[in-house]
A and B are shown apart, each in its own frame.
Chain A
Amino acid sequence: NAGVTQTPKFQVLKTGQSMTLQCAQDMNHNSMYWYRQDPGMGLRLIYYSASEGTTDKGEVPNGYNVSRLNKREFSLRLESAAPSQTSVYFCASREGYEQYFGPGTRLTVT
């Protein structure tokens, strides 16, 4: 039981490049989330998905898109990366009151 997995672990992009962060969970959870973690700012919600086929914006959605491909997978896409998107990105899924987090993706945009 791997829980929540994220790929890649690290990524360096140049400004303007695009990429997709992958997230999958094997716990059969309906709800999934994408957060970014920045020093001094804690975790901020980018997008979330209450169930397969639905997605909604969180606190900081600008510059991102998401796809809930199926119940297991929830991907985050940066269409044109900017230095302000340098961050650590966490995916999470939820059962009941508890959110389960992935190991994170450290993204640097130069």
Chain B
Amino acid sequence: AQRVTQPEKLLSVFKGAPVELKCNYSYSGSPELFWYVQYSRQRLQLLLRHISRESIKGFTADLNKGETSFHLKKPFAQEEDSAMYYCALSLMNTGFQKLVFGTGTRLLVSP
């Protein structure tokens, strides 16, 4: 069955420290993975997509098929990074996308 696992409910770091939010997936096909973020009082929004391989707001995520992981990383955390982060696996069926979300990790960056 398709599944996304985010083992940490809460990750608390100090400003300037490196951050790694873990995501592991279970999927028999070729995975397409995303990170979505929800800042306080804002809507859930796309942060990045593994295929684009770009850095958004200093965050990067590399798909590791061998370890079935898609961890989100940032070398120096900022207070404005505090938010809820969701890893999501895209399932495509006859061209229609469904997302399977992980349970989310709350990142708290303290000054």
Chain A interfacial positions (CB closer than 8 Å to B): 4, 31, 35, 40-45, 48, 50, 58, 90, 92, 94, 97-104
Quick check: is B43 within 8 A (CB to CB) of the other chain? yes
List B6-53 residues whose CB lies under 8 Å from chain A.
6, 9, 32, 34, 43-46, 49, 51
Chain A: minimal CB distance from B95 (Å)? 8
* Bound CA–CA A41/B90 (angstroms): 18
Chain A residues whose C-beta falls within 8 Å of the C-beta of B65 in the assembled complex: none
Interface size on B, residues (CB 8 A): 21
Chain A residues whose C-beta falls within 8 Å of the C-beta of B98 in the assembled complex: 45, 48, 58
Chain A: minimal CB distance from B77 (Å)? 22
Q: Which of B90, B96, B97, B103 contacts A40 (CB 8 A)?
A: B103
* Bound CA–CA A81/B4 (angstroms): 29
Chain B interfacial positions (CB closer than 8 Å to A): 4, 6, 9, 32, 34, 43-46, 49, 51, 86, 90, 96-99, 101-104
- The prevalent SS among residues of A at the interface is strand
- The prevalent SS among residues of B at the interface is strand
Chain A: minimal CB distance from B85 (Å)? 11
- B103 adjacent to A102 (CB under 8 Å): no
- A42 adjacent to B99 (CB under 8 Å): no
In the complex with contacts A40-B103, A41-B103, A97-B90 CB distance below 8 A: yes
Chain B residues whose C-beta falls within 8 Å of the C-beta of A100 in the assembled complex: 45
Q: Which of B4, B32, B96, B104 contacts A97 (CB 8 A)?
A: B32
**Which of B46, B90, B99: most chain A Cβ within 10 A?**
B99
- B96 adjacent to A50 (CB under 8 Å): yes
Q: Which of B4, B9, B43, B103 contacts A101 (CB 8 A)?
A: B43
- B43 adjacent to A97 (CB under 8 Å): no
Closest B-chain residue to A97, C-beta based? Answer: B49
- B97 adjacent to A97 (CB under 8 Å): yes
Q: Which of B6, B32, B43 contacts A102 (CB 8 A)?
A: B43
